[in-house]
Structure 1
Amino acid sequence: MMHEKQSRIWHPFTQHALQGAMTKVVRGEGAYLYTADDRRIIDAIASWWVVTHGHCHPHIVSAIQKQAEQLNQIIFAGHTHEPAEESAALLLKLAPRGLDYVFFSDSGSTSVEVALKMALGYWHNIGEPRSRIVVMQHSYHGDTVGTMSVGARGVFNAAYEPLLFDVTSVPFPERGREQATLDALEAACRNDNPAAFIVEPLILGAGGMLMYPAWVLREMKRICEASNVLFIADEVMTGWGRTGTLFASEQADVSPDIACYSKGLTGGSLPLAVTLCRADIFDAHYSKDRARTFFHSSSYTANPIACAAAKANLDLWQEPEVRKRIASVAAMQEEGIESFRADARFNNVRRVGTITALDLAVPDGGYLADIGPKLQAFFRDRNLLLRPLGNTIYVMPPYCVTAADLNEIYVGISDAADALVSGKSAGIS
C-alpha cells in the first residue's frame, strides 16, 4: 500500500519494508558526500566500488563538460568517434599483454555477459561447440541471467532459478586447501570440455571479500591454458588499483584470454564497461558470412560522453603520482587495520592492496543476518558510508582518502562492535 509521501522509486538491493528514509545526497567532492541536511559523509566504499580518484575529479568533470558540447550520442554500429578510439587505445596500452580488442558495454554485468557470449561464440565459430562454464564457489559476476548463472546460487537468485543454466563449480581456495581447488579445476577442464573458466582475481567481492594468493591465480591460468580452456578474468571490481596494482592479474603475471572492466573505468563518474579479448577470439567472428557476426549491443554502446570520462581517467593512470598514491593508501589501510588482528571481537582480518575486510564475531553472520542492517544504521548515524555484507565489514575508499578519514572509519568500526556487545546504541542493540 502506498503512503502519501512515499517515493515511487524502487531502489537496488533494498528491502523497502525495512528501509527507513533514503539519505538524500546533493553533492560529492573528493572522499566526501554532502547531504540535503548538511551532513558530510566519508565515502568508505567508493560508492559501491566505483569512485577511484575522488568524487567530481576536476580533470574528469572537464572532459565530460567538453564532450557534452560536441557529441553526446551516436549509434556505434557502423560509426565511431575519437573518445572511443582514444580510450580503447589507452586501455590496450595499460591492460595485460595479449589482449587485442575492446568491446564496449554499459555495466559490469553486461561486460561479463559479453565475455560469456564471446567464449561460446568463439568455440561455435571454429567448429568445436562448447557450452560448459566453470566457476568458483562464492563468486558474484552480476545480476543479469548469464551472470547470475555463473555466480553463487542462493538468496540473490533463488527466485530466478528456472532461467539459469548449469555450470561446474570449483571450491574457493581456502588457506591450506588451495590444492583442492586446483585439482577440481583440472578435473573439470579434463572431464567437462568447458568453453571457459571465469574468476574474480585475488578477491571475491560480493561473496564476502574472500581473498586468495596470486600464485593460485597463476596456477589456475596454467591449468586452463594446458587444457585449452578460455580464461575469463572478471576485474569489474578488482581493477583500477583496488588490489594494489592497476589490474589484479598483474600480480600473478597472468594474461587473461578475456577480461572484464567497469566500475572505476570512468573514475566513477559515468556508467561504462569494456570486455577485452585476444585477437583469435575476434578473428573467429571475422567473416564475410554475416551469421558469424558477434550479436550483442545496447543503444548506448560506447557513449561519447562516457568514453571521454574514461579517456580522462586513463590519462590520470599514466601519471606516476597516481600509482604512488595506491601504495600510500594500501600502507594507510594496513596501519588502520593492524590493531584489529588481535581483537577478539573480529575474525579473519585481511587486506589486499587498498581493500580491507574483517568479520564481526557473531553467531549468525550470513548475508541476511540481522547484524548487517544494524551495522549499516550505526555507521549512517556516524556519517560513514559503510555497507557490510552481513557481518563482514569492508573498507574500499577513494584514493584521495586521508589518514584522518581512515582513522575515523576504523574508530567507527570499533565503536560499532562496542555498541553491539554492550547494547549502548539503540541503533544496533
Structure 2
Amino acid sequence: MSTWQALDERFVWHPYTQHGIAPRATPIVRGEGAYLVDADGNRLLDAISSWWVNLHGHAHPEIADAIAQQARSLEQVIFAGFTHEPAARLAAELVEVLPDGLERIFFSDDGSTAVEVAIKIAIQSWRNRGERRTLIAALDNAYHGDTFGAMSASAPSVFTEAFGDHLFQVARLPDPIEGDPLDALDRLIETRGGELAAVIVEPLLLAAGGMRMYGEDVLRGIRERTRAAGIPLIADEVATGFGRTGPMFACDRAGVAPDLVCMSKGVTGGFLPLGVTAATAELFETFRSPDRALTFFHGHSFTGNPLACAAARTSLRLLLDPACAKARVAIEAAHEDGLARVASHPMVTRPRLLGTIAAFDLEAGEGYLAPVGRELAAFARGEGVLLRPLGNVVYLIPPYCVTPDEIGGVYGVIERFLETR
C-alpha cells in the first residue's frame, strides 16, 4: 500500500460507504477516455461514467485545455455584484439549447443544490406575489439529492430515514410504473391546489430510485395539468440532461417545457462541480423589484465559478458536434444487443433502455441494500469494468467515447457473472 493510500484509509470518510465492512477503496491514478487506471496499472472501463458525470471521456484534452487557459486569467470571483465572461456566455448558450421559455440561469454547486434553488424559487415566487403556498408534490420512488430540501422531495428510503423528523411534508404522486400519477395530480389540484407551490419530477427516469423508466405521455400529462392550474413544474434533469436520454434533455423527448430545470452531473463533462437552475422569465420577474426584501437570498461561495463555466462551455460545444449524436445512437444500439443477450437469463427481469441508459433487475433480493449489487460490482472490477448497481438494479451509463465493442464486453462480463449464480 502506498503512503497516500494509507492516508486515505486513516483519514478519509467516503460517501455511501459503510466503513465497517467496505473493502479498501480502489486507488485511481489517472483517466484515459472511457477508462480509469489504478495504482497497479490495471484499466477499468468506466461503464457508469463515474456516477453519471463524465460525458466525453476522462482527461478530455479540449476540456482540460479550456480549464487551464481560464485558470491563467481568472480562477474565482464573488458572483454577487460581479460577473465574468465564461458565466455570461455559458448562460446564453444553455438558454439556446434548453426547452422554450427558460431564460434565466442561476448557478450553484451540484445537483442537490440546483434542486434546492428550484424549490426555493417556486415557494418564494408565490410569497413575493402575496400568496402563501408551500406544498410541493413529487413522485414516489423519486430521488432529488442529499440536502434537506432535496431529501424532502425524494421518496422516503434508507437514504433519508435517519432524518425523517426534519424533512418537510410532500404530497406524493404514484410512481408511473406502479400507479396513475395523473389521476392523483387531478385530485390534488382539486383539493389542495391553493396550497401547491410546485410539482417536481425526474423526467422519464427515476434514476437513483431504481432506473425506473416511464412514458412520455405521463410527463406531458403532468405538464398539461400544472400549466392549466398555473403551478410551476420543476424538471430535475441532473441525471437525464445533456444527451443521456437521446436528445439534449429528457423533456425534449416529450415536447415539454417546464418552468424550472435543474442540471448538474454532465454539465461540465465531469470535470468540475457545477449546479444550474434554469427559470422562466415570468418567475424571474416575481423577484425583480425596488423592494430588497423580495430578493432571492440564496448563493454559494463558488457560484458561477469561472473554471467550471469554461469546462461547461467546452463540454456543450463537444456535445453539439454531430459526431456526438452519432456516438449516442451507436451506444443505444449496442445496449439493445447487450440487453437481448442477458434478458434470457432467469435472474434477469425488466430489461429497459432510454437513450444511452440501459438497466435491468436481478431476482436476488430487492432494494438498495440487496447484496447482489456489491457482488456484481466486485466481480466486474476483477474483470476490468466499473459497475455500481443500485442494489439489485444493474445499469450502464457509459461516456460517449465508448465503442460498441467495449459495451459488448461489459455485457460479456455480466453474462459471466450470471453464469456463477
Residue of 215, 218, 222 corresponding to 1:216: 218
The 3-state SS of whatever aligns with 1:300 is coil
Query: Residue 69 in 1 paired to residue 72 in 2?
Result: yes
- Residue in structure 1 matched with residue 167 of structure 2 by the alignment: 164
- Residue in structure 2 matched with residue 95 of structure 1 by the alignment: 98
**8 A Cα contact 2:330 2:404, kept in partner:** no
- Residue in structure 2 matched with residue 392 of structure 1 by the alignment: 393
| Deviation string, structure 1 residues 183-222 (Cα, Å, up to 9, x no partner) | 0011112222211000000111110000001111111110
| Deviation string, structure 1 residues 217-275 (Cα, Å, up to 9, x no partner) | 11111011111111000000000111111100001100010000110000011000100
Query: Residue 150 in 1 paired to residue 153 in 2?
Result: yes
- Residue in structure 2 matched with residue 22 of structure 1 by the alignment: 25
Give the structure-1-normalised TM-score: 0.94
| Deviation string, structure 1 residues 145-187 (Cα, Å, up to 9, x no partner) | 0000000102111111121000000111127x5xx22100111
Q: How does 1:334-345 map to 2 (within 5 A)?
A: 334-345=336-347
Unaligned runs of 5+ in 1: 422-429
Q: How does 1:112-151 map to 2 (within 5 A)?
A: 112-151=115-154
Query: Residue 174 in 1 paired to residue 183 in 2?
Result: no
| Deviation string, structure 1 residues 71-91 (Cα, Å, up to 9, x no partner) | 001000000000001111100
Query: Residue 81 in 1 paired to residue 84 in 2?
Result: yes
1:97 to partner: Cα distance: 0.6
The 3-state SS of whatever aligns with 1:398 is coil
**Cα distance between partner residues in 1 of 2:43 and 2:323:** 27
- Residue in structure 2 matched with residue 409 of structure 1 by the alignment: 410
1:276 to partner: Cα distance: 0.2
**8 A Cα contact 2:262 2:278, kept in partner:** yes
**Cα distance between partner residues in 2 of 1:405 and 1:15:** 31
**Cα distance between partner residues in 1 of 2:166 and 2:274:** 26
- Residue in structure 1 matched with residue 3 of structure 2 by the alignment: none
- Residue in structure 1 matched with residue 191 of structure 2 by the alignment: 191
1:318 to partner: Cα distance: 2.5
- Residue in structure 1 matched with residue 272 of structure 2 by the alignment: 270
Query: Residue 378 in 1 paired to residue 379 in 2?
Result: yes
**8 A Cα contact 2:113 2:147, kept in partner:** yes
1:337 to partner: Cα distance: 1.2
| Deviation string, structure 1 residues 45-70 (Cα, Å, up to 9, x no partner) | 00000000111111111100100100
Give the count of matched residue pairs: 413
1:116 to partner: Cα distance: 0.2
The 3-state SS of whatever aligns with 2:17 is coil
RMSD in angstroms over aligned alpha carbons?
1.2
**8 A Cα contact 1:348 1:358, kept in partner:** yes
Give the structure-2-normalised TM-score: 0.96
Aligned partner of 1:234: which letter?
D
**Cα distance between partner residues in 2 of 1:190 and 1:408:** 52
